[in-house]
Structure 1
């Protein structure tokens, strides 16, 4: 089997090479993203393997179909960047990695909360400069705070468990109630009550038409003044312009982002020598109470190992004409 990897990074190769030792697939790593201009580079491959910011819209799917591709293997959980209707028309199957390491994202979520609260990033830079003043570094006890979780899948549930360990009250909003979440003390409430009551709001839901910009001008106005918002889910869950207005009028007290709606042109690349032209993103960077990481929540050794193993296992199932365990229905 020949597999064309798009948006391949050097740190991925070692994990996939290790996972491939027993399978001996031909892995072709391309460091460019998949889009309508690069789709023809998949010619000659049997499978295309893509990541979160690769673009598999209808035009791209048509090109892939013309080149004989019948399987798209996402090495991530989300698949909102794939036109599933076009895949169905072209006879292309889609698989993903639904649970590479929920602990990695959950722990990063809590890291953002703690960093924003205790301002350890600012303290680190001060101490390096010999400034040991505590002015502007005051935080609050997480113990006793109310955290609202929008989405309680695997990642949300683990995040809730960690926060319960801190002594937080945890509220949950989801389309269905999880038995284990209720057993650990998560209180399921309406979205409105969660917004009104939470000191911290953390986003862990998938991106759907219903959740697109779930954090917007209206929902922000329903939140507590000084609320902390954390997003390690999908960038488009937040209307960034509305968030900026909330930060400017100090209704939002803290914001931690590992994802951003227009991240495809930014994240996973070294742009330190270039002018970043995204004015909304650059405005977010000006706020001292905003902390942004470049979609690294998933990035642990455990997660990378699981991503490689699961992806190649899906390709093995496809090759052997077995049921696709992690298939996305198209």
Structure 2
């Protein structure tokens, strides 16, 4: 099998090359170019392409890939909201993903964001570097005995729930499908979770029903002084309403690893560029907000699991086997 790997970073190539030695029937070519309709034509002669969460795998891209003879789209991530799954199915292209590469990596980053935003670690770091050891504006809150609300209790949400439980927090959750392994979690309605939680952490996929689930109306239902963390998908939060809530002092702290206008920013150095919109700059202007660059997954263990699962997906496809990682049209 010949795979064309798009949007290659040094760490991608390093982790995949290390694993590829165990898959002699797979040949990978690496491109730094992003996957968009204009670069999709480079896949001619390849059996599969490997894309990421920031790739454009929409209708036009899939049409080009189909014309090039591509039969498999390998998403080296859990999310697939950027893929036109129906178009892929209509073109006879299989889509496979990596649903559980390292739930703990993302959950640990979510808690890191919650703690850092709460205790203003980002401000303290800068302040102390300037020999300023004052504590004004640094006061945080204890998490112990507070209530953590977990929205979505799949593998990542479950890992976050266990972390919060370990901190001595009361853990409540909202999910259509309750996780029986979380016997210490109390499932409630979304409205109850919003009203009761001191810390809200989002761990659900981005779908039509979850798009902008955090908006002006849902923010008004939250406690005053709530801490919000999003390590899932930027589209879960309506940014304009979040900014409005921050200005209204609704949030004690906000930690974001994903946000709505991140697409062009993900993993790129744009320090010498003028940003297209002011949304990110406005968020960063608030002293109680921390933003990281979609790095929740970024651990050695997670990259190892991503490369292994992706290559296993490719081999299963060639053998006509199912792995459970197929993305099906509902």
Same fold (TM over 0.5): yes
- Structure 1 residues 143-154: aligned runs within 5 Å: 143-154=144-155
Work out the CA distance in 1 between the residues paired with 2:192 and 2:312: 43
1:209 to 2:191 alignment? no
Work out the CA distance in 2 between the residues paired with 1:54 and 1:262: 14
Match of 1:287 in 2: 286
Work out the CA distance in 2 between the residues paired with 1:196 and 1:315: 45
Match of 1:18 in 2: 18
Match of 1:129 in 2: 130
Work out the CA distance in 2 between the residues paired with 1:80 and 1:86: 13
Contact 1:117/1:139, CA 8 A, preserved across alignment: yes
Work out the CA distance in 1 between the residues paired with 2:278 and 2:125: 28
Contact 1:3/1:47, CA 8 A, preserved across alignment: yes
Work out the CA distance in 1 between the residues paired with 2:177 and 2:54: 29
SS in 1 for 2:181: helix
- Residues 199-235 of structure 1 show CA distances to partners (whole Å, capped at 9, x for unaligned) of 1110000111110001001000111112111000011
1:36 to 2:31 alignment? no
CA shift, 1:323, in A, is: 2.4
- Residues 176-196 of structure 1 show CA distances to partners (whole Å, capped at 9, x for unaligned) of 111111x1x111111111111
Contact 2:71/2:92, CA 8 A, preserved across alignment: yes
Contact 2:261/2:279, CA 8 A, preserved across alignment: no
Match of 2:193 in 1: 194
CA shift, 1:87, in A, is: 0.7
Match of 2:74 in 1: 73
What TM-score do you get using the length of structure 1 for normalisation?
0.97
1:264 to 2:236 alignment? no
Match of 2:7 in 1: 7
Match of 1:315 in 2: 314
Give the length in aligned residue pairs.
Answer: 328
Work out the CA distance in 2 between the residues paired with 1:270 and 1:150: 31
CA shift, 1:131, in A, is: 1.1
Match of 2:95 in 1: 94
Match of 1:249 in 2: 248
What TM-score do you get using the length of structure 2 for normalisation?
0.97
Contact 1:95/1:324, CA 8 A, preserved across alignment: no
CA shift, 1:104, in A, is: 0.2
Q: Once structures 1 and 2 are overlaid, which stretch shifts more, 33-42 or 85-94? A: 33-42
Work out the CA distance in 2 between the residues paired with 1:248 and 1:38: 42
1:45 to 2:46 alignment? yes
The runs of 5 or more residues in structure 2 that have no matched partner are none
CA shift, 1:75, in A, is: 0.2
RMSD: 1.0
Q: Once structures 1 and 2 are overlaid, which stretch shifts more, 23-32 or 88-97? A: 23-32
Contact 1:314/1:324, CA 8 A, preserved across alignment: yes
Contact 2:149/2:171, CA 8 A, preserved across alignment: yes
Work out the CA distance in 2 between the residues paired with 1:52 and 1:231: 16
Match of 1:168 in 2: 169
Contact 1:102/1:154, CA 8 A, preserved across alignment: yes
Match of 1:139 in 2: 140
- Residues 100-149 of structure 1 show CA distances to partners (whole Å, capped at 9, x for unaligned) of 00010000011001101111221121111111111111111110111111
Work out the CA distance in 2 between the residues paired with 1:233 and 1:315: 26
Work out the CA distance in 1 between the residues paired with 2:281 and 2:34: 23
Contact 1:314/1:325, CA 8 A, preserved across alignment: no
Work out the CA distance in 1 between the residues paired with 2:290 and 2:71: 40
CA shift, 1:321, in A, is: 2.3
Match of 2:121 in 1: 120
